[in-house]
Structure 1
Amino acid sequence: MEIAENAALVVIDVQKGFEEEFWGKRNNPAAEEKIAALIDLWQETGRPVAFVRHDSLEGSSSPLRKGYVGNDFKEFVEERRGKGAGPELLVTKSVNSAFYGEPSLDGWLAGLGVEQIVIVGIQTNMCNETTARMGGNLGYEVVFPLDAMHTFDLEGPFGWSRTAEELSQATAVSLHGGQFAKVVTVRDVVEGASASAGVR
Protein backbone atom coordinates (compact mmCIF):
# COMPACT_ATOMS: atom_id res chain seq x y z
CA MET A 1 0.00 0.00 0.00
CA GLU A 2 1.02 3.63 -0.39
CA ILE A 3 1.66 5.83 2.62
CA ALA A 4 1.90 9.50 1.69
CA GLU A 5 5.03 11.47 2.52
CA ASN A 6 2.92 13.78 4.69
CA ALA A 7 0.56 11.13 6.13
CA ALA A 8 -0.18 11.88 9.77
CA LEU A 9 0.11 9.34 12.57
CA VAL A 10 -2.67 9.79 15.14
CA VAL A 11 -1.69 8.14 18.44
CA ILE A 12 -4.84 7.83 20.52
CA ASP A 13 -5.08 7.54 24.33
CA VAL A 14 -1.95 5.49 25.04
CA GLN A 15 -2.28 6.29 28.73
CA LYS A 16 -1.24 4.64 31.98
CA GLY A 17 -4.82 4.36 33.19
CA PHE A 18 -5.45 1.59 30.67
CA GLU A 19 -3.03 -0.64 32.61
CA GLU A 20 -5.44 -0.87 35.56
CA GLU A 21 -7.64 -3.89 36.33
CA PHE A 22 -10.66 -1.59 35.98
CA TRP A 23 -10.86 -2.44 32.27
CA GLY A 24 -10.65 -6.23 32.41
CA LYS A 25 -8.91 -8.57 30.00
CA ARG A 26 -7.23 -7.09 26.93
CA ASN A 27 -6.02 -8.49 23.62
CA ASN A 28 -2.87 -7.95 21.53
CA PRO A 29 -0.06 -7.73 24.11
CA ALA A 30 2.32 -6.61 21.33
CA ALA A 31 0.36 -3.41 20.65
CA GLU A 32 2.71 -1.07 22.52
CA GLU A 33 5.77 -2.39 20.68
CA LYS A 34 4.04 -1.86 17.33
CA ILE A 35 2.86 1.64 18.29
CA ALA A 36 6.40 2.60 19.33
CA ALA A 37 7.81 1.33 16.04
CA LEU A 38 5.40 3.47 14.03
CA ILE A 39 6.08 6.59 16.12
CA ASP A 40 9.81 6.05 15.53
CA LEU A 41 9.32 5.65 11.79
CA TRP A 42 7.13 8.75 11.55
CA GLN A 43 9.60 10.83 13.51
CA GLU A 44 12.60 9.55 11.55
CA THR A 45 10.93 10.40 8.24
CA GLY A 46 9.69 13.83 9.34
CA ARG A 47 6.02 12.98 9.04
CA PRO A 48 3.46 14.70 11.30
CA VAL A 49 2.41 13.02 14.55
CA ALA A 50 -0.63 13.90 16.68
CA PHE A 51 -0.65 12.61 20.25
CA VAL A 52 -4.18 12.42 21.64
CA ARG A 53 -4.94 12.26 25.38
CA HIS A 54 -8.31 11.49 26.96
CA ASP A 55 -9.09 13.78 29.88
CA SER A 56 -12.06 12.05 31.47
CA LEU A 57 -14.82 14.16 33.01
CA GLU A 58 -16.10 11.25 35.11
CA GLY A 59 -14.31 12.43 38.22
CA SER A 60 -12.93 9.89 40.67
CA SER A 61 -14.46 6.92 38.82
CA SER A 62 -12.17 7.05 35.80
CA PRO A 63 -8.53 5.95 35.64
CA LEU A 64 -8.12 8.58 32.89
CA ARG A 65 -9.21 11.57 34.97
CA LYS A 66 -7.08 14.72 34.96
CA GLY A 67 -4.71 15.04 37.90
CA TYR A 68 -4.42 11.27 38.33
CA VAL A 69 -1.35 9.32 37.22
CA GLY A 70 -3.52 7.25 34.87
CA ASN A 71 -4.10 10.34 32.74
CA ASP A 72 -0.42 10.43 31.80
CA PHE A 73 0.88 8.93 28.58
CA LYS A 74 2.66 5.62 28.94
CA GLU A 75 6.40 6.11 29.31
CA PHE A 76 7.32 4.87 25.83
CA VAL A 77 5.05 7.53 24.33
CA GLU A 78 6.04 10.36 26.65
CA GLU A 79 9.74 9.79 26.01
CA ARG A 80 9.15 10.11 22.25
CA ARG A 81 7.12 13.31 22.33
CA GLY A 82 8.98 16.27 20.88
CA LYS A 83 11.70 14.09 19.36
CA GLY A 84 10.55 14.05 15.74
CA ALA A 85 11.80 16.01 12.77
CA GLY A 86 8.26 16.75 11.59
CA PRO A 87 5.24 18.65 12.93
CA GLU A 88 3.73 17.47 16.22
CA LEU A 89 0.45 18.20 17.98
CA LEU A 90 -1.01 17.40 21.40
CA VAL A 91 -4.79 17.04 21.36
CA THR A 92 -6.85 16.66 24.54
CA LYS A 93 -10.40 15.37 24.43
CA SER A 94 -13.20 14.20 26.71
CA VAL A 95 -15.26 12.27 24.14
CA ASN A 96 -14.55 9.35 21.82
CA SER A 97 -13.49 11.15 18.64
CA ALA A 98 -10.08 12.79 18.42
CA PHE A 99 -11.71 15.24 16.01
CA TYR A 100 -13.69 16.70 18.95
CA GLY A 101 -10.63 17.75 20.94
CA GLU A 102 -8.54 20.84 21.54
CA PRO A 103 -6.87 22.17 19.50
CA SER A 104 -8.67 21.07 16.36
CA LEU A 105 -7.11 17.97 14.82
CA ASP A 106 -8.98 18.61 11.56
CA GLY A 107 -7.72 22.19 11.40
CA TRP A 108 -4.13 21.11 12.04
CA LEU A 109 -4.26 18.38 9.40
CA ALA A 110 -5.85 20.72 6.87
CA GLY A 111 -3.17 23.33 7.53
CA LEU A 112 -0.50 20.76 6.70
CA GLY A 113 -2.30 19.57 3.58
CA VAL A 114 -2.71 16.08 5.05
CA GLU A 115 -5.16 13.78 3.27
CA GLN A 116 -4.15 10.42 4.79
CA ILE A 117 -4.12 9.51 8.49
CA VAL A 118 -2.89 6.37 10.25
CA ILE A 119 -4.67 5.60 13.53
CA VAL A 120 -3.07 3.65 16.39
CA GLY A 121 -3.66 3.40 20.14
CA ILE A 122 -6.38 2.46 22.62
CA GLN A 123 -9.16 1.27 22.39
CA THR A 124 -9.72 -0.41 19.04
CA ASN A 125 -13.52 -0.41 19.12
CA MET A 126 -13.98 2.82 21.04
CA CYS A 127 -11.95 5.98 20.39
CA ASN A 128 -9.96 4.47 17.54
CA GLU A 129 -13.04 3.31 15.68
CA THR A 130 -14.96 6.54 16.34
CA THR A 131 -12.04 8.65 15.11
CA ALA A 132 -11.70 6.45 12.02
CA ARG A 133 -15.38 6.78 11.15
CA MET A 134 -15.34 10.53 11.59
CA GLY A 135 -12.08 10.81 9.65
CA GLY A 136 -13.68 8.94 6.78
CA ASN A 137 -16.73 11.20 6.93
CA LEU A 138 -14.46 14.26 6.81
CA GLY A 139 -12.83 12.99 3.64
CA TYR A 140 -9.53 11.61 4.94
CA GLU A 141 -8.08 8.37 3.70
CA VAL A 142 -7.94 6.44 6.97
CA VAL A 143 -5.42 3.63 7.51
CA PHE A 144 -6.10 1.38 10.50
CA PRO A 145 -3.22 -1.00 11.41
CA LEU A 146 -5.12 -3.44 13.63
CA ASP A 147 -2.04 -4.87 15.35
CA ALA A 148 -1.00 -1.41 16.64
CA MET A 149 -3.95 -1.15 19.03
CA HIS A 150 -5.88 -3.14 21.58
CA THR A 151 -9.14 -3.23 23.49
CA PHE A 152 -10.83 -5.08 26.37
CA ASP A 153 -13.55 -7.68 26.88
CA LEU A 154 -16.95 -6.02 27.15
CA GLU A 155 -20.46 -6.77 28.37
CA GLY A 156 -23.41 -5.38 26.46
CA PRO A 157 -27.21 -5.65 26.42
CA PHE A 158 -29.35 -8.80 26.61
CA GLY A 159 -26.65 -10.68 28.50
CA TRP A 160 -24.34 -10.50 25.50
CA SER A 161 -20.60 -10.23 25.96
CA ARG A 162 -17.69 -10.30 23.56
CA THR A 163 -13.97 -10.82 24.01
CA ALA A 164 -11.48 -8.14 23.13
CA GLU A 165 -10.40 -10.12 20.08
CA GLU A 166 -13.98 -10.54 18.88
CA LEU A 167 -14.60 -6.82 19.29
CA SER A 168 -11.41 -6.01 17.37
CA GLN A 169 -12.46 -8.28 14.52
CA ALA A 170 -15.93 -6.74 14.45
CA THR A 171 -14.42 -3.26 14.26
CA ALA A 172 -12.10 -4.35 11.45
CA VAL A 173 -14.97 -5.84 9.44
CA SER A 174 -17.21 -2.80 9.95
CA LEU A 175 -14.56 -0.22 9.08
CA HIS A 176 -13.03 -2.07 6.15
CA GLY A 177 -16.25 -3.52 4.76
CA GLY A 178 -18.03 -0.19 5.19
CA GLN A 179 -15.14 1.64 3.48
CA PHE A 180 -14.53 3.95 6.41
CA ALA A 181 -10.90 2.84 6.59
CA LYS A 182 -8.30 0.47 5.16
CA VAL A 183 -7.65 -2.13 7.84
CA VAL A 184 -4.08 -3.34 7.46
CA THR A 185 -1.06 -4.55 9.46
CA VAL A 186 1.88 -2.60 10.83
CA ARG A 187 4.08 -4.37 8.32
CA ASP A 188 1.93 -3.01 5.48
CA VAL A 189 2.27 0.51 6.86
CA VAL A 190 6.03 0.27 7.45
CA GLU A 191 6.65 -1.01 3.94
CA GLY A 192 4.47 1.69 2.40
CA ALA A 193 5.92 4.50 4.50
CA SER A 194 9.52 3.40 4.02
CA ALA A 195 9.13 3.10 0.27
CA SER A 196 7.68 6.59 -0.18
CA ALA A 197 10.30 8.12 2.11
CA GLY A 198 13.18 6.37 0.36
CA VAL A 199 14.15 4.38 3.46
CA ARG A 200 15.91 1.06 2.85
Structure 2
Amino acid sequence: MNDKTALIVIDVQLGFEVESFWGVPANPDADAHIAALVAAWTAEDRGPIVLVRHDSGKPSSPLHPSNPGNRLKGYLAELSPDLLITKNVNSAFLGAPNLDQWLREAGIQRLVLCGIQTNMCVETTARMGGNLGYQVIVPLDATSTFALAADLPTGRVQLSGAELMAATAVNLQAGGFAQVVSTAALLSDRPAS
Protein backbone atom coordinates (compact mmCIF):
# COMPACT_ATOMS: atom_id res chain seq x y z
CA MET A 1 0.00 0.00 0.00
CA ASN A 2 1.14 3.54 -0.64
CA ASP A 3 0.08 6.95 0.61
CA LYS A 4 -2.54 7.12 -2.14
CA THR A 5 -4.72 4.47 -0.46
CA ALA A 6 -7.67 5.60 1.67
CA LEU A 7 -9.19 3.33 4.29
CA ILE A 8 -12.95 3.92 4.28
CA VAL A 9 -14.72 2.53 7.35
CA ILE A 10 -18.45 2.35 6.65
CA ASP A 11 -21.21 2.51 9.28
CA VAL A 12 -19.42 0.80 12.17
CA GLN A 13 -22.08 2.00 14.60
CA LEU A 14 -23.45 0.80 17.93
CA GLY A 15 -26.94 0.42 16.47
CA PHE A 16 -25.85 -2.62 14.48
CA GLU A 17 -25.41 -4.46 17.79
CA VAL A 18 -29.19 -4.42 18.36
CA GLU A 19 -29.93 -8.04 17.41
CA SER A 20 -33.67 -7.62 18.07
CA PHE A 21 -33.69 -5.17 15.14
CA TRP A 22 -31.14 -6.67 12.71
CA GLY A 23 -30.65 -10.28 13.75
CA VAL A 24 -27.39 -12.09 14.43
CA PRO A 25 -24.34 -10.74 12.54
CA ALA A 26 -22.91 -13.07 9.90
CA ASN A 27 -19.30 -12.29 10.81
CA PRO A 28 -18.66 -11.76 14.54
CA ASP A 29 -14.94 -11.25 13.79
CA ALA A 30 -15.54 -8.20 11.59
CA ASP A 31 -14.82 -5.68 14.37
CA ALA A 32 -11.45 -7.28 15.12
CA HIS A 33 -10.48 -7.13 11.44
CA ILE A 34 -11.68 -3.53 11.07
CA ALA A 35 -9.74 -2.54 14.20
CA ALA A 36 -6.61 -4.22 12.76
CA LEU A 37 -6.96 -2.23 9.54
CA VAL A 38 -7.42 1.04 11.44
CA ALA A 39 -4.40 0.24 13.63
CA ALA A 40 -2.24 -0.50 10.58
CA TRP A 41 -3.31 2.66 8.76
CA THR A 42 -2.60 4.70 11.89
CA ALA A 43 0.70 3.10 12.90
CA GLU A 44 2.18 2.69 9.43
CA ASP A 45 0.82 5.90 7.87
CA ARG A 46 -0.64 3.93 4.96
CA GLY A 47 -2.90 6.81 3.95
CA PRO A 48 -5.97 8.75 5.07
CA ILE A 49 -8.79 7.25 7.11
CA VAL A 50 -12.38 8.15 6.23
CA LEU A 51 -15.16 7.29 8.66
CA VAL A 52 -18.71 7.03 7.35
CA ARG A 53 -21.78 7.25 9.59
CA HIS A 54 -25.31 6.36 8.53
CA ASP A 55 -27.89 8.85 9.86
CA SER A 56 -31.19 7.04 9.29
CA GLY A 57 -34.21 9.19 8.57
CA LYS A 58 -36.46 6.71 10.39
CA PRO A 59 -36.90 7.56 14.11
CA SER A 60 -37.47 3.85 14.90
CA SER A 61 -34.06 2.88 13.51
CA PRO A 62 -31.18 2.30 15.94
CA LEU A 63 -29.12 4.40 13.47
CA HIS A 64 -31.35 7.50 13.74
CA PRO A 65 -29.33 10.49 15.04
CA SER A 66 -31.61 10.75 18.11
CA ASN A 67 -30.74 7.19 19.18
CA PRO A 68 -27.54 6.18 21.00
CA GLY A 69 -26.96 3.51 18.35
CA ASN A 70 -26.08 6.24 15.86
CA ARG A 71 -22.68 6.61 17.54
CA LEU A 72 -19.59 4.93 16.16
CA LYS A 73 -18.37 1.84 18.03
CA GLY A 74 -15.93 2.44 20.87
CA TYR A 75 -12.72 1.54 19.07
CA LEU A 76 -13.47 4.28 16.51
CA ALA A 77 -14.84 6.90 18.89
CA GLU A 78 -11.41 8.28 19.84
CA LEU A 79 -10.07 8.21 16.28
CA SER A 80 -9.45 11.53 14.53
CA PRO A 81 -10.25 10.65 10.92
CA ASP A 82 -9.05 12.63 7.95
CA LEU A 83 -12.70 12.92 6.91
CA LEU A 84 -16.10 12.11 8.42
CA ILE A 85 -18.93 11.47 5.97
CA THR A 86 -22.56 11.39 7.05
CA LYS A 87 -25.20 9.85 4.81
CA ASN A 88 -28.78 8.61 4.81
CA VAL A 89 -28.55 6.35 1.74
CA ASN A 90 -26.45 3.27 0.90
CA SER A 91 -23.47 4.90 -0.81
CA ALA A 92 -20.80 6.92 0.98
CA PHE A 93 -20.40 8.76 -2.33
CA LEU A 94 -23.86 10.28 -1.77
CA GLY A 95 -23.09 11.65 1.69
CA ALA A 96 -21.71 14.94 2.94
CA PRO A 97 -19.18 16.27 2.42
CA ASN A 98 -18.64 15.03 -1.15
CA LEU A 99 -16.38 11.97 -0.91
CA ASP A 100 -15.45 11.82 -4.60
CA GLN A 101 -14.39 15.47 -4.63
CA TRP A 102 -12.33 15.06 -1.45
CA LEU A 103 -10.58 11.94 -2.76
CA ARG A 104 -9.73 13.55 -6.09
CA GLU A 105 -8.40 16.70 -4.43
CA ALA A 106 -6.23 14.51 -2.19
CA GLY A 107 -4.94 12.52 -5.18
CA ILE A 108 -6.36 9.25 -3.85
CA GLN A 109 -6.73 6.50 -6.45
CA ARG A 110 -7.08 3.37 -4.33
CA LEU A 111 -9.76 2.64 -1.72
CA VAL A 112 -9.97 -0.06 0.92
CA LEU A 113 -13.58 -0.46 2.08
CA CYS A 114 -14.68 -2.20 5.27
CA GLY A 115 -17.68 -2.04 7.59
CA ILE A 116 -21.38 -2.81 7.81
CA GLN A 117 -23.47 -4.03 5.97
CA THR A 118 -21.53 -6.05 3.41
CA ASN A 119 -24.36 -6.30 0.88
CA MET A 120 -25.77 -2.83 1.44
CA CYS A 121 -23.54 0.18 2.09
CA VAL A 122 -20.19 -1.54 1.54
CA GLU A 123 -21.27 -3.10 -1.76
CA THR A 124 -23.01 0.05 -3.01
CA THR A 125 -20.01 2.22 -2.17
CA ALA A 126 -17.67 -0.29 -3.83
CA ARG A 127 -19.77 -0.39 -6.99
CA MET A 128 -19.88 3.40 -7.22
CA GLY A 129 -16.16 3.65 -6.48
CA GLY A 130 -15.40 1.19 -9.25
CA ASN A 131 -17.66 3.07 -11.65
CA LEU A 132 -15.94 6.34 -10.75
CA GLY A 133 -12.57 4.83 -11.70
CA TYR A 134 -11.06 4.09 -8.30
CA GLN A 135 -9.16 0.88 -7.61
CA VAL A 136 -11.37 -0.63 -4.91
CA ILE A 137 -10.29 -3.36 -2.49
CA VAL A 138 -12.70 -5.05 -0.08
CA PRO A 139 -11.29 -7.24 2.70
CA LEU A 140 -14.45 -9.33 3.02
CA ASP A 141 -13.68 -10.55 6.53
CA ALA A 142 -13.67 -6.90 7.68
CA THR A 143 -17.36 -6.64 6.80
CA SER A 144 -20.54 -8.12 8.18
CA THR A 145 -24.24 -8.27 7.45
CA PHE A 146 -27.49 -9.95 8.50
CA ALA A 147 -29.98 -12.40 6.99
CA LEU A 148 -32.67 -11.00 4.70
CA ALA A 149 -35.95 -12.28 3.32
CA ALA A 150 -38.23 -10.94 0.59
CA ASP A 151 -41.46 -11.96 -1.09
CA LEU A 152 -40.66 -12.11 -4.79
CA PRO A 153 -42.84 -13.04 -7.80
CA THR A 154 -41.27 -16.53 -7.62
CA GLY A 155 -42.06 -16.88 -3.92
CA ARG A 156 -40.44 -16.06 -0.60
CA VAL A 157 -36.64 -16.04 -0.65
CA GLN A 158 -34.54 -16.01 2.51
CA LEU A 159 -30.75 -15.69 2.44
CA SER A 160 -28.41 -16.00 5.40
CA GLY A 161 -25.87 -13.31 6.15
CA ALA A 162 -23.10 -15.66 4.99
CA GLU A 163 -24.89 -16.21 1.67
CA LEU A 164 -25.29 -12.45 1.21
CA MET A 165 -21.60 -11.89 1.97
CA ALA A 166 -20.65 -14.53 -0.61
CA ALA A 167 -23.00 -12.97 -3.19
CA THR A 168 -21.44 -9.56 -2.58
CA ALA A 169 -17.94 -10.99 -3.05
CA VAL A 170 -18.98 -12.55 -6.36
CA ASN A 171 -20.80 -9.40 -7.51
CA LEU A 172 -17.84 -7.16 -6.76
CA GLN A 173 -15.01 -9.34 -8.03
CA ALA A 174 -16.66 -10.99 -11.05
CA GLY A 175 -18.38 -7.72 -11.94
CA GLY A 176 -15.06 -5.88 -11.99
CA PHE A 177 -16.05 -3.38 -9.30
CA ALA A 178 -13.50 -4.40 -6.66
CA GLN A 179 -10.83 -6.88 -5.68
CA VAL A 180 -12.01 -9.06 -2.79
CA VAL A 181 -9.26 -10.02 -0.35
CA SER A 182 -8.69 -11.09 3.24
CA THR A 183 -7.56 -8.68 5.95
CA ALA A 184 -4.40 -10.75 6.55
CA ALA A 185 -3.41 -10.59 2.88
CA LEU A 186 -4.07 -6.86 2.74
CA LEU A 187 -2.03 -6.15 5.86
CA SER A 188 0.86 -8.19 4.51
CA ASP A 189 0.66 -6.19 1.26
CA ARG A 190 -0.16 -9.36 -0.64
CA PRO A 191 -3.81 -8.83 -1.66
CA ALA A 192 -5.20 -12.17 -2.74
CA SER A 193 -8.73 -13.50 -2.71
The residue aligned with 2:5 is: 7
2:112 is aligned with 1:118: yes
The residue aligned with 1:165 is: 162
How big is the alpha-carbon RMSD for the aligned residues of Structure 1 and Structure 2? 1.1
**Equivalent pairs: percent with the same residue?**
50
Find 2:16's aligned residue among 15, 18, 32: 18
Find 2:99's aligned residue among 105, 111, 119: 105
Please identify which structure carries the higher helix content: 1
Contact 1:27 1:152 in 2 (8 A): yes
Find 1:148's aligned residue among 139, 142, 150: 142
Distance in 1 between residues matched to 2:67 and 2:27, nearest whole Å = 26
- Give matches, 1:31-42, under 5 Å: 31-42=30-41
Q: Post-superposition shift, 1:45?
A: 2.3
Distance in 1 between residues matched to 2:7 and 2:69, nearest whole Å = 23
C-alpha deviations, 1:44-92, integer Å up to 9, x for none? Answer: 1221000000000112x2110012100000101112x11xxxx710000
- SS of 2:7's equivalent in the other structure is strand
User: TM-score under structure 2 normalisation?
Assistant: 0.93
Contact 1:4 1:116 in 2 (8 A): no
Q: Post-superposition shift, 1:107?
A: 1.1
Distance in 1 between residues matched to 2:116 and 2:122, nearest whole Å = 7
Q: Can you give the 5+ residue segments of structure 2 that lack an aligned partner in the other structure?
A: none
Q: Post-superposition shift, 1:30?
A: 0.7
Q: Post-superposition shift, 1:4?
A: 2.9
Q: Can you give the 5+ residue segments of structure 1 that lack an aligned partner in the other structure?
A: 194-200
List structure 1 runs of 4+ shifted beyond 3 angstroms: none
2:175 is aligned with 1:178: yes
The residue aligned with 1:189 is: 186
Q: Give 1:78's aligned amino acid.
A: A
Contact 1:31 1:149 in 2 (8 A): yes
Q: Post-superposition shift, 1:174?
A: 0.8
Tell me which of the two structures has the higher relative contact order, counting C-alpha pairs closer than 8 angstroms and 6 or more residues apart: 1
The residue aligned with 1:135 is: 129
Distance in 1 between residues matched to 2:173 and 2:31, nearest whole Å = 23
Contact 1:93 1:101 in 2 (8 A): yes
- SS of 2:38's equivalent in the other structure is helix
